Amino acid sequence: MDFSQIVPALPALMEGMVVTLKLLVMAVLGGVVLGTFIALGRLSSNAFLSGLAKAYVNYFRSIPLLLVIIWFYLAVPMLLNWITGDFVPVGAFASCLVAFMMFEAAYYAEIVRAGIQAISRGQVNAAYALGMTYGQAMRLVILPQAFRKMLPLLLQQSIILFQDTSLVYAVGLMDFLNSARSRGDILGQPHEFLIFAGAVYFVISYCASYIVKRLQKRLVV
């Protein structure tokens, strides 16, 4: 084992890490927003809306993420072509971002739904007593408290998403893992670079999980 080529290759690997973190942050933000709307749909008294949201969650939680990534890589350009009538080139990053947002929204929706249901009914009644509408009560009273309770779970799911970003190798996106693999193949040291990449994923995930546990204890107190 010779790890001497790791340091000279760090600039190229950092470019891959930037792609990974950019994809992660955008997918988390988009997934949480979409997941919140889906969770509200699941809690809706409208049977059609609730059923549609439930079907969405069950569907995306029942298929492999890798398959979703490949689907969207092939489907997004076709969909845009069908809508606009012209060929619209879509890069691997954009298609992967859409895939992660749609897929993770199903998981975030369940976390948000559980967080909302954890708030006592008295909070809702108090908001209505103050003259708030359903939307105002949810936006100003329920969701802020719910997000505080479910923040550790949201962060834990985001750590899982960080690890899952490595699946973008399937569509050729040069994220951190793919950059390490490619650089290792070029230098004839694939094992060393993959071991280094695995160590980086482990350190980041372990540190993030430790922070989440500390945060969870603080919120419980």
User: Is 3 a domain residue?
Assistant: no
DSSP code at position 132: -
In a domain, 195, yes or no: yes
| Domain annotation covers residue 2 | no
Host domain of residue 204 = 10-220
Assigned domain for 41 exists: yes
Rg (CA), the chain: 21
Q: What is the pLDDT of residues 46-105, one digit of tens each?
A: 899 999 999 999 999 999 999 999 988 887 777 777 777 776 667 889 889 999 999 999
Q: State the total domains in the chain.
A: 1
Residue 150 domain flag: yes
pTM score: 0.88
* One-letter amino acid of 209: S
Distance between CA atoms of residues 107 and 123, nearest Å: 25
Q: What is the b/e burial string over 13-25, where b = at least 16 CB atoms within 10 angstroms of the residue's CB?
A: beebbebbeebbe
Work out the angle at residue 59's Cα, subtended by the Cα atoms of residues 56 and 64, and round it to the nearest 5 degrees: 130
Using CB atoms within 10 Å of the CB of residue 2, give its burial: 0 to 12 exposed, 13 to 18 middle, 19+ buried: exposed
Half-sphere exposure of 119 (CA within 13 A, CB side): 22
DSSP run (H or E) holding 186: helix 176-187
Q: What is the arithmetic mean of pLDDT over 190-214? A: 93
Q: Which helix (H) or strand (E) holds 181?
A: helix 176-187
Q: Is the pLDDT of residue 168 over 90?
A: yes
pLDDT of residue 87: 65
Q: Give the CATH number of the domain where residue 58 resides.
A: 1.10.3720.10
